[in-house]
Structure 1
């Protein structure tokens, strides 16, 4: 059975705790769908180009139809002219959002957490707090864990703790309401407060 690692106040391993039985057998496709939806929602959708009907000008025929020795042309807004419209260019009216229901979101998070426990990368601690607000103190916690990258999850972080973690490039601090399957999957390990962990595993 999958187990999460319980940490003491010094962020060292103290014991282990089992995940609920329902975490076994979750389809990994739920995580794929959530990550796909999450990344799609981050798209800026700002690329846009004018087609020949949107470019200003073009009311007058550039030159006579015949006698000039050149190819015929009806408007300077044609894509063949510099400054003309763009053929099949990008449009910012496209909707990239992908629908995913609440049950799939929950299953995706549970699957991501289960993957972390299988690799012994899910840590539970009573509190994540750095009262000094010093980055070196936050760095000491990360160093004690010895992980490549760490996601810290608080029930509700305070300003000193936020200031301590914000400049560390190998970790990220979020509140419980910001936690999602993408963040859990993206980081090498996850450290969360016990209150957050209990809330997740007790939710039906």
Structure 2
């Protein structure tokens, strides 16, 4: 698959040949669904446990008389009705982490890249070099490229570009090693640099 390369100023800068084994796969929504669920589940933090009767350090000595005190019978300060006592039926510690076969994860990323390419929402740029870290300048350049919601993936993102896009809504930057299915699908346009294309192909072929 051949796609044209552009600059940030929306000028032509040649062509690049994309590997069909990475950018030309059939859409597999089931694979994408599994990978996204796996990503979101693993982002969740652990559920914290409350301390129950067996977890608090309070006396178990009986206080007061069994009868004649005019109050209920108690024999343990760890009871939930007392201040400092254990919580009754509190939340338990729980991990939401899931496991997913590496082959499925790799196939999911390739499928996400292929989906953007087939939808015509994949743009390849020569580089992300900016003279100055100016958000307004970058916004105008993205307007020329027709990008309102874009994920930029580069081998080594220049500092000026990272600073310029920091305040732009739905415009994010990732290194090649951080490319993932959820972020790719969560943006309308996927923007790769020629360096990112080379590193992605090397990553899958290696």
Q: Describe how 1:57-68 pairs up with structure 2 within 5 A.
A: 57-68=58-69
Give per-residue Cα distances to partners, 1:84-125, cap 9 Å, x unaligned: 212332344x33321123211111111112222333221111
User: Which residue of structure 2 aligns with residue 88 of structure 1?
Assistant: 89
User: Which residue of structure 1 aligns with residue 10 of structure 2?
Assistant: 11
- Sort the Cα spacing of 1:59 and 1:134 in 2 relative to 1 into closer, same or farther, 3 A: same
Shift of 1:17: 6.7
- Sort the Cα spacing of 1:78 and 1:126 in 2 relative to 1 into closer, same or farther, 3 A: same
Rounded Cα–Cα distance in structure 1 between residues aligned with 2:2 and 2:190: 10
TM-score (norm 1): 0.81
Shift of 1:172: 0.5
Deviates more, 1:44-53 or 1:169-178: 44-53
Alignment root-mean-square deviation, CA:
2.9
User: Which residue of structure 1 aligns with residue 196 of structure 2?
Assistant: 196
- Equivalent position SS for 1:89: coil
Shift of 1:166: 1.8
Structure 1: 5+ residue stretches without partners: none
User: Which residue of structure 2 aligns with residue 34 of structure 1?
Assistant: 35
Say yes or no: does 1:151 pair with 2:147: no
Structure 2: 5+ residue stretches without partners: none
- Size of the aligned set, in residue pairs, is 201
Shift of 1:152: 0.7
